[in-house]
Amino acid sequence: MPEVKLTNVAKTFDKGRIIAVDHIDLSIRDREYLTLLGPSGCGKTTTLRMIAGLELPDEGEVYIDEKRVSGLPPEERDVGYVFQEYALFPHMDVWDNVTYGPRVKGWEEEKSERIGREMLELVRLFERTDAFPSELSGGMRQRVALARALSSGSKLLLLDEPLGALDAKIRTELRYEIRRLVKDLQLTAIHVTHDQAEAMAISDRIAVMRKGKILQVGTPQELYLNPQHIFVANFVGESNFLEGYITERTNHKITVELRRGINVQSMNQDHKKGEKVVVAIRPEVLSITQGEKSGLNSIFGNIEGFRFEGTNIRYEIRLENDDLVVVVRPALMAEWLSVGEKVTVAFPVEKSFVFSYPELGLRTELALE
Amino acid sequence: MATAIILPIEFILQKQGISSFSIFSTLRLEKGLLKIEKFASKKLSRLRDVVVLLFIILVVVIPIIVVLNSVVLSWSSDPDTGKVTESVNYQLFGPPNYFSALLDATFVSFASASIATYIATCIAIPTVFLIKRYRFGRFLRAILRIPLIVPTSALGLSILLLWGPEGFNLANPGIWLIILTHIVFSVPVIVEPMLATFEGSEIPLYSGAARTLGATQYNTVESISLPLLKRGIMAGVILSFTRSLGETGATFLVMGSHTTIPPLVVNMVEALAIPAALFASTYLIAISFVLLMLFRKVTTR
Ligand SMILES: Nc1ncnc2c1ncn2[C@@H]1O[C@H](COP(=O)(O)OP(=O)(O)O)[C@@H](O)[C@H]1O
Ligand SMILES: [Mg+2]
């Protein structure tokens, strides 16, 4: 049932000096696992807090289940919220934390206890229910926070960087567990994170945020295969950026002249002839061959950096037009080349993206804050 | 230590914008002092600790011992003159019967301190939430500090004039006016440690969490904020109680025919009943000491 809708929601702090959320529209479908992804400080937490009622929007409306809730206090919205810092009540043990919701709502003792046991079972925490939060490990605290958020029976779960405080190993384990739980219980979940790998791995859809705005909403595949914004191309996955001007344009293809008169071709994405553009190419799309071999979309260069990252090799290559690009190849499949070697870098026409050159400059557009 | 001595001076000089010359000279002074200290810390590494310890013994411990000692020495007769009427025993339990006066004062002291502290706590708790929740909170906090800054005798006088028979005639000088006076300075005494606890305990975060779990604002205060503030409240209560017991200046002006222990001591001295005053002081010190221990027990963990 729970669908969440935000229309034109805006929030500022400090008498308008800090724009935390800048007029966003967002719809979350029933039983969807949606992730708000963006660099820290981009307004993710504020958005979540406005959905929960912990913060009131300056403008715009919040709907839960088609009911306008913008004016309702948190206790009347029926959402489960897992806080970034977990916010487990320090003066209560695990059991009291988990049963707080049912008890404060005045449910019968028997029912509260049954729910408490169910929730702890759900997150597989059986022992140590009389321990206080300060005595628990990070992973256990996270489970308690989750159990507590679920205990009120809400079908809408808000998770603010729920894995942020955990070790890398536990983090990857727990993220699938949370998703499984959400799917098993048929909940709608809004998950906030700044970790794109986490977002890609668990989301049905992702909303990419930057500076209080939502840039693109889509499935992980859509964001990766078809970024609509230059920031998204860089933040979801990685991209190399080459600046140039469009010199030719047919129905399907365009030719872009890079610095020093190097021509490359890309797919036509509604750009005009003569327009200044940025060609974005993912590091894993670029092929690399030894020596100078001309061909379509082939650019000569020199290896400047080499890093073996375990499964991949990461080359930094200075192209003949002075641009620096990163090439990532699977370590077992690739030739191992060394620094200083002359190489040719190439990419398929249909595997690059073309964006209009940003008004404020490339660097500003890609900046995290 | 040299830095400790020089810092306040430097601070004042800079505040008043005195030319760089004088700062330069204080710097030179500082260098000199540092040199001495370096020498001292090499040769007399323990000296500093000993000096501090001596200072504390001199100004804090010795006077208490002197008082205690005098009480013991002059218990049955004056140690110099040998007069029995000048003895603690005679003045307390003999015809002057200061002991029953002391018992009465003890009752008034504890009654007024308890009632004042209780009422002040009831006022202080919502005040803390007001201060934290609203913009005018900082202003409120500043106003609340006034009774702590105003000399206590001036405070007592203003209360007497305002609420006493000359003013609104709320109460005659006596225990009720004492209580009223003590409430006035107790509220800030309780508010301050509560605010300190509040600031160190992330109450807004936990309150928010409670609200999402279905707690109303009232539930939240009851089940989250107050338990988290408990330590601060206890500290405030004991501080306020101790202060009530020891307060002299304001109480003196509003107490009428009732009296708490400290003004009684003053009265004894004025009546030249020194041995009785000595005993009463010892008694007061002992009570304060017990309360201090209690305070430490509550605030440390
Ligand atoms: N209560 C607040 N008071 C003032 N500024 C705030 C407050 N909450 C958030 N901000 C500011 O709003 C911006 C967005 O914050 P937040 O939503 O926490 O970002 P994120 O969760 O994406 O890191 C930041 O610049 C932050 O400093
Ligand atoms: Mg955040």
Least Cα separation, residue A198 to chain B (angstroms):
25
Q: Quick: pLDDT tens for B167-206.
A: 887 777 888 899 999 999 999 999 999 999 998 889 999 9
Average pLDDT over residues A184-207: 93
Tell me the residues of B at the A interface, defined by beta carbons under 8 Å apart: 202, 205-206, 208-217, 219, 223-224, 227-228
- What is the pLDDT, as a whole number, of residue A362? 78
Distance from the Cα of A97 to chain B's closest Cα (Å) equals 10
- Angle at CA of residue B238, ends B235 and B242, nearest 5°: 140
Mutate to test the pocket of ligand 1, among A42, A45, A46, A194 (most ligand atoms within 8 A of CB): A46
pLDDT of residue B19: 47
Q: How many Å separate Cα B13 from the centre of its chain?
A: 32
Chain mean pLDDT for chain B: 83
Please compute the mean of the pLDDT values over residues A174-179 and round it to a whole number.
88
- Is ligand 1 within 6 A of the CB of residue A43? yes
Name the range with the highest mean pLDDT among A274-278, B27-31, B222-226.
B222-226
- pLDDT for the residue numbered B20: 46
Q: Which two tokens stand for residue A280?
A: 């974005």
Taking the C-alpha atoms of residue A197 and residue B71, their distance in angstroms, rounded to an integer, is: 79
Q: Ligand 2: distance of its center to the CA of A98 in Å?
A: 23
Which one, of A113, A166, A161, lies nearest residue A136 by Cα?
A166
Residue A209's pLDDT band, with cuts at 50, 70 and 90, is: very high
Q: Write out the two tokens for A128.
A: 């140590």
Spatial separation of the C-alpha atoms in residues B44 and B37, rounded to whole Å: 9
Whether A181 and chain B come into contact, CB under 8 Å, resolves to no
Which ligand 1 atom is the nearest neighbour of the CA of A47?
17
Most confident of A95-99, B31-35, B278-282: A95-99
Min Cα–Cα distance to chain B from A77, Å: 8
pLDDT at residue B234 above 60?
Answer: yes
Q: Please tell me the distance between residue B169's alpha carbon and the centre of ligand 2 in angstroms.
A: 58
**String of b and e for B241-268 (b: at least 16 CB within 10 Å)?**
bbbbbbbbbbbbbbbbebbbbbbbbebb
Tokens read off for B98: 């200061």
User: A with B: how many residue pairs have Cβ under 8 Å apart?
Assistant: 61
Which CATH code of 3.40.50.10210, 3.40.50.720, 3.40.50.300, 1.10.3720.10 fits the domain covering B83-300?
A: 1.10.3720.10
pLDDT confidence of B83, banded at 50, 70, 90?
confident
Residues at Cβ < 5 Å from ligand 2 ion: A 45
Looking at per-residue pLDDT, the higher value among B5 and A140 belongs to A140
Provide the pLDDT for residue A33: 95
Tens digit of pLDDT for each residue in A255-268?
888 888 888 888 87
Q: Domain A4-233 - what CATH class? A: alpha beta
pLDDT exceeds 70 at position B105 = yes
In sequence order, the 6+-apart residues with CB closer than 8 A to the CB of B201 are B228, B229
- State which of A80-84, A122-126, B156-160, B272-276 shows the largest mean pLDDT: A80-84
Length, in residues, of chain A? 369
pLDDT at A89 over 80: yes
Q: Is ligand 1 within 6 A of the CB of residue A45?
A: yes
* Residue-wise pLDDT tens digits, A13-26: 988 899 999 999 99
What are the residue ranges spanned by the domains of chain A?
A: 4-233, 239-366
Query: H/E/C letters for each residue in chain A?
Result: CCCEEEEEEEEEECCCCEEEEEEEEEEECCCCEEEEECCCCCCHHHHHHHHHCCCCCCEEEEEECCEECCCCCHHHCCCEEEECCECCCCCCCHHHHHCHHHHHCCCCHHHHHHHHHHHHHHCCCCCCCCCCHHHCCHHHHHHHHHHHHHCCCCCEEEEECCCCCCCHHHHHHHHHHHHHHHHHCCCEEEEEECCHHHHHHHCCEEEEEECCEEEEEECHHHHHHCCCCHHHHHHCCCCEEEEEEEEEECCCEEEEEEHHHCEEEEECCCCCCCCEEEEEECCCCCEEEECCCCCCCEEEEEEEEEEECCCEEEEEEEECCCCEEEEEEECCCCCCCCCCCEEEEECCHHHEEEEECCCCCHHHHHCCC
Is the pLDDT assigned to residue B227 strictly greater than 80? yes
Taking the C-alpha atoms of residue A241 and residue A230, their distance in angstroms, rounded to an integer, is: 9
Most confident of A126-135, A181-190, A329-338: A181-190
Angle, vertex CA A355, rays to CA A350 and CA A358, nearest 5:
165
Q: How far apart are CA A256 and CA A245, in angstroms?
A: 5
In angstroms, the Cα distances linking B163 to B21, B50, B112, B143, B243 are 55, 51, 17, 20, 22
| CB contacts, 8 Å: A51 with chain B | none
Q: Does A160 have pLDDT greater than 90? A: yes
pLDDT of residue B42: 62
CATH 1.10.3720.10 domain position(s) in chain B: 83-300
Residue of B nearest to A48 (CA): B212
Rounded Cα distance, B151 and A146, in Å: 55
Each residue's pLDDT tens digit, B10-57: 666 555 554 444 555 556 666 776 777 676 666 666 777 788 788 888
pLDDT on residue A265: 80
Contact A75 B205 (CB under 8 A): no
pLDDT digits (tens, 9 = 90+) for A320-358: 888 889 999 988 887 788 888 888 998 888 888 888 888
Measured by CA distance, the residue closest to atom 2 of ligand 1 is: A13
| Residue carrying structure tokens 């004062």 | B105
- Mention every residue, 6+ apart, whose C-beta is less than 8 A from residue A153: A115
Q: Which residue has the tokens 């005659």?
A: B172
Identity of the residue in B202, B216, B228 whose CB atom sits nearest the CB atom of A91: B228
Return the percentage of chain A with pLDDT > 70, whole number: 100
CA torsion, ordered B280, B115, B243, B106, to nearest 10 deg? 0
Which pLDDT score, from 0 to 100, does residue A92 have?
A: 93
**Residues A239-366, CATH architecture:** Beta Barrel (2.40)
Among chain A residues, CA nearest to B230: A91
Among A185-199, B162-176, B222-236, the least confident range = B162-176
